[in-house]
Amino acid sequence: MLRGLGLFEAPAAGAGPGAGHADALSLSFNQDGSRLAIGTRDGFRVYGLQPFARHFVSRAGGQRLAEVMGWSNLVCLVGAGEAPALSPRCLRLYDLHARKVLTEVSFAAAVTRVVLNRSRLAAACPGAVYVFDLSTMECLRALDLAAEAAADASTPDAGATAAAAAAAAALDRK
């Protein structure tokens, strides 16, 4: 099955063990489950699932997060940190058709999760969630999760629960 996803490729002659294998760092479906984005140590891939087809492959460096927006040409990427240009603190919106970065947003800490819909993008960093208008990339809200977790310290996973609830609520607002 993984061979069909292109995660296994023919290694170069004389290559050592594990050569030709692109480690998957993240997997995500688009909103209706018809596309799959895979962030790998050497880039990212986007697949259509109905019918199955590889739509895009980039080998421009490790991507720890790759999120595809519906059936649009937008992919949200966060680098794996193996090079300064691929910082895990930088979120990039990439246009698959133009094959270029449309915009970049830098954060003080590593981006750990990204979710998006047609109008909003939410990026989670340790202790905070940032919500952006997708069309302008204007930051609409910065949610301080440490303050919310302190207010609800009675549950052991208060921070994670607050992050998920805050991101979902912010994405639902239009």
88 pLDDT more than 70: yes
7-64 pLDDT, tens digit each: 544 444 444 444 555 789 999 999 999 999 999 999 999 999 989 999 999 999 999 9
Q: What angle do CA 76, 80, 6 make, to 5 degrees?
A: 75
Partner residues linked to 121 by β-bridges: 116, 132
138-151 pLDDT, tens digit each: 999 999 988 776 67
Instruction: Report the distance separating Cα 92 and Cα 104, nearest Å.
Output: 4
Domain positions in the chain: 21-110, 112-174
What is residue 85's predicted lDDT score, i.e. its pLDDT? 87
Burial 97-123 (b: 16+ CB within 10 A, else e): eeeeeeeebebeebbebbbbeeebbbb
What is residue 155's predicted lDDT score, i.e. its pLDDT? 58
The three-class DSSP label of residue 5 is helix
Top-tier CATH class for 21-110: mainly beta
Better-predicted residue by pLDDT, 125 or 5:
125
